Chains A and B, each alone.
Chain A
Amino acid sequence: RKEVEQDPGPFNVPEGATVAFNCTYSNSASQSFFWYRQDCRKEPKLLMSVYSSGNEDGRFTAQLNRASQYISLLIRDSKLSDSATYLCVVPTNFGNEKLTFGTGTRLTIIP
């Protein structure tokens, strides 16, 4: 099993729709999880962190299921500006220095 696994997509979603991405991880000892966003030809930027069962920030909700080693990201009322690649990230050491990234899920919002 890969350390961090994501559906690469692409997801093509109409504006205003709700879209969800999934991510599985292999290290059951992992305590913290992140979603980063990467625009085309740009650097990754932190979108959300998840430490307990979940986190919500406006239209974005991240959920964690430790038993299934599964993280999800939900985007409601999607906007054209949400078009990007979403990277699931799991630290592989206690201090969160060494980040393991998934391959990313590419999202395109269609007008």
Chain B
Amino acid sequence: DTGVSQDPRHKITKRGQNVTFRCDPISEHNRLYWYRQTLGQGPEFLTYFQNEAQLEKSRLLSDRFSAERPKGSFSTLEIQRTEQGDSAMYLCASSLAGSYEQYFGPGTRLTVT
């Protein structure tokens, strides 16, 4: 399968713990995006990378959240000191620069207890 992959698919953690998610984009895609989706809502933009550069961050991305794409390939999203309000589906997407179509991965479902 050459689509976007995310790991883990599910994560249950206790409040206050740190979690890290990984996204592997489609190999030739140089743009990578992170979104968050809660029940009954559409995905909300968090941040995006072009190659290894993080070009935009949403104000939704508090200082507890950090994303990296160190070599311009896979990306990680870390949430520190998790809160119950962080419970959501975290979606990763990728695209080619100049293309409007973003391809989404299956998401990581985070539950904070």
Contacts and interface: CB of A to CB of B under 8 A. Distances in A.
Contacts of A45: 104
Contacts of B56: 93, 97-98
Interface residues of B, number: 19
A92 to B, nearest CB: 8
Contacts of B31: 97
Contacts of B33: 97, 99
A91 B100 CA distance: 9
A21 interface: no
B44 A101 contact: yes
Contacts of A100: 45
B106 A103 contact: no
Contacts of B40: 8, 103
Interface in B82-113: 91, 100-102, 104-107
B13 to A, nearest CB: 20
B8 interface: no
A44 interface: yes
A17 to B, nearest CB: 25
Contacts of B42: 4, 87, 89, 101-104
B107 A43 contact: yes
Top-7 shortest CB links A-B: A101-B42, A43-B104, A96-B100, A101-B43, A46-B101, A87-B42, A98-B45
26 contacts: A8-B40, A32-B100, A34-B100, A42-B106, A43-B91, A43-B104, A43-B105, A43-B107, A44-B91, A44-B104, A46-B101, A46-B102, A87-B42, A93-B56, A96-B100, A97-B33, A97-B48, A97-B55, A98-B56, A99-B33, A99-B102, A100-B45, A101-B44, A102-B42, A103-B40, A103-B42
